A = this chain, B = another copy of it.
């Protein structure tokens, strides 16, 4: 990594934290300049615009999610074990200490859902890919006869994802200490109802 790249990566980490707490809209070049001690013009040199910075933040979080949630699940034996790893990995990732303000993708989803534009399109595309990833891993479990043959894997993905949303909500807004247990119970019920 060149010095320029290292600087950019350090700025991005800071930007992800800001977005996690204040949302993408709260992510201004001016604010970031204050936090990093860099000049506004220097930051513009790295990112070009507020929207480019917001996009870079989303891309960084998506990549972090891929590395910390999806890849470890793909390292697990396919079938129900892999689904479980995917679910547990997601919950752990969402609750991790580096996400002061919760999952920046979820915050962005509720922030951008009604704001047409490239940023919303990018996020929706990534989220659809996430649903597809869940459905594909479920389909593999169907192919291995661990889940039943007539399982609607898109419905499974919808419910898997809903439980994760429920966890984030209860954990972050309601400070519910049982949130992870509740999510795990709901996930076990989902898998049991889909079992072959």
Contact = CB atoms under 8 A, between A and B. Distances in A.
Interface of A: 20-23, 25-26, 100-102, 106-107, 109-115, 120, 123-124, 127-128, 131, 152, 154-155, 158-159, 161-163, 165-170, 172-175, 178, 182-183, 185-186, 189, 193
Contacts of A123: 173
A45 B130 CA distance: 47
A20 to B, nearest CB: 7
Contacts of A159: 163, 166, 182, 186, 189
The copy count of this chain in the complex is 2
A174 B109 CA distance: 9
Contacts of A169: 109-110, 113, 127, 161-162, 165
18 contacts: A21-B114, A102-B110, A102-B114, A109-B173, A110-B169, A113-B173, A120-B173, A124-B173, A128-B174, A131-B174, A158-B166, A158-B182, A158-B186, A159-B189, A162-B162, A162-B165, A162-B166, A165-B166
Task: Among A22, A107, A110, A166, find the residue whose CB has the most chain B CB atoms closer than 10 A.
Answer: A110
A111 B107 contact: yes
B185 A155 contact: yes
> Which 10 A-B residue pairings sit nearest by Cβ, starting from the closest?
A162-B166, A101-B114, A113-B172, A165-B165, A110-B110, A113-B173, A158-B182, A162-B162, A107-B110, A21-B114
A193 B190 CA distance: 10
